[in-house]
Amino acid sequence: MEPETTPITANGYHQIEQEIERLKATKPAAIKRLAEAAALGDRSENAEYSESKRALGQLKGRIHFLTKQLQYSEIVTPADDETIEIGKTVTIQFLDDGEEETFEIVGKPEADVNLNKISLVSPIGAALLGSAVGETVTVTAPEFSYKVKILKVTLS
């Protein structure tokens, strides 16, 4: 049985690749710090050694995690139409207060609400997926439901 892949935009994939390369570039310095701390003597009471070892472990863990994300990711290229899918920028209007919001639908690994990047598996992302301009969609969040109208859909 093949493992399930996670959809991701090409931009998100490349950002993860860049982070892996950046982290790999810092690894030799982390190894050097650990070796220098180990040379200071008794490791059982050496806080610098313990901290350096923990930092190196976290660095290795992050590289491993990101590598696995890429391994199980599938780059999705969106169609140039008005149907909502990963890689599209969407403008919606909340029908309860008339407020408008624009965000990009992205894969789970690249979601970042601070950058207006909403995961396709989030409640709003999942509700909008496959819908088109002019449609009204009900979003079911954990605590309540609300309706939004799709105003605009473009390629990101």
Q: Are residues 59 and 109 in the same domain?
A: no
Distances (CA, A) of 77 to 11, 74, 85, 110: 10, 10, 9, 15
Domain termination residue (choose one: 75, 101, 126): 75
In this model, does residue 149 exceed pLDDT 70? yes
- Domain assignment of residue 83, yes or no: no
Give yes or no for residue 40 having a pLDDT over 90: no
Per-residue pLDDT band for 72 (boundaries 50, 70, 90) equals: very high
Q: Are residues 60 and 121 in the same domain?
A: no
Pair 53, 102 in one domain: no
Split at pLDDT 50, 70, 90, the class of 64 is: very high
CA 144 to chain centre: 25
Percent of the residues in the chain that have a pLDDT greater than 90, as a whole number? 83
Q: Which residue has the higher pLDDT, 130 or 50?
A: 130
Structural domain includes residue 34: yes
Please report the pLDDT score of residue 41 as a whole number. 75
Would residue 80 count as lying in a domain? no
Burial 133-152 (b: 16+ CB within 10 A, else e): beeebebeeeeeebebbbee
User: What pLDDT is recorded for position 47?
Assistant: 86
Residue 81 lies in a domain: no
* Co-location of 24 and 56 in the same domain: yes
More confident residue, 44 or 63: 63
Instruction: For residues 2 and 71, give the distance between their C-alpha atoms in angstroms, rounded to a whole number.
Output: 12
pTM of the model: 0.83
Domain range spanning residue 68?
6-75
Helix (H) or strand (E) holding 11: helix 10-38
The predicted pLDDT at position 1 comes to 57
Are residues 103 and 148 both part of a single domain?
yes
Query: CA–CA separation, 36 vs 29, rounded Å?
Result: 10
**Taking residues 25-50, what's their average pLDDT?**
87
Number of domains forming the structure of the chain: 2
